[in-house]
Amino acid sequence: MTERPYVIDEMITAKAIAARIETLCREIVAEFGDTDKLVVVGLLRGSFVFIADLVRELDLPIEVDFLEASSYGDATESSREVRILKDLRGAIEGRDVLVVEDIVDTGHTLNHVTHLLASRNPARLKSIALLDKPSRREVDYRADWIGFDIPDEFVVGYGIDFAQRNRNLPYIGKVRFT
């Protein structure tokens, strides 16, 4: 199958992302300042760049773990059924947990994942998403921290892919078919 040609228009610069992360991390440190160890849970794969930048701005004792939930596959439509493809390595009972996601779209993924993790009785459970598309919401879910609200555009870069490509762009761009 031949790929439909597209270009990527820059939407959020690397500099703007870095500045936003600094502000968010001050708020997260204020919230979790008394923690003995915060478990930072990245949702694979889209959050890997965000979590890497985030933890380096967090002056807290942390551990990092990952969880993978099913999402788009290689298409641009979100699936409503969320499956856990890879679970956490560690237990979170009695621990402080911060879930890190790339984008909240319909809300199904984070809604499902936070319910699942809450059922394991963490001490505190919070979530952060780099991007949010509020106009696309199907379930009532809002992350505790959001980097940027964006319109209903298909975005790539900064860890986020289109058919597994473009994750290595340092900025967030929107896909425009030509």
Residues of the shown chain interacting with Mg ion in the complex, contacts defined by CB under 5 A = 46, 71
Q: How far is the CB of 31 from ligand 5GP (least distance, A)?
A: 23
Instruction: Work out whether strand 124-132 and strand 96-104 pair parallel, antiparallel, or are unpaired.
Output: parallel
Q: How far is the CB of 24 from ligand 5GP (least distance, A)?
A: 18
Q: How far is the CB of 143 from ligand 5GP (least distance, A)?
A: 10
DSSP state string for 84-111: EEE--SS--TTSEEEEEEEEESSSHHHH
Closest CB to ligand 5GP among residues 58, 110: 110
Question: Measured at the alpha carbon of residue 162, what is the angle toward residues 138 and 40, in degrees to the nearest 5?
Answer: 65
Closest CB to ligand 5GP among residues 85, 123: 85
Q: How far is CA 71 from CA 30, 53, 145, in A?
A: 32, 23, 21
For 111, residues 6+ apart whose C-beta sits below 8 A from its C-beta are 139, 141
Closest CB to ligand 5GP among residues 38, 143: 143
Q: How far is the CB of 67 from ligand 5GP (least distance, A)?
A: 12
Residue in 9, 65, 87, 105 annotated catalytic: 105
Closest CB to ligand 5GP among residues 107, 122: 107
Q: Is 102 a catalytic residue?
A: no
Q: Which phi and psi (to 5°) does residue 112 adopt? A: -65, -50
* Six token digits for residue 104: 């909240």
Interaction site with ligand 5GP (CB under 6 A): 46, 71-72, 78, 101-109, 154-156, 160-162
Which residues are marked as active site? Answer: 105
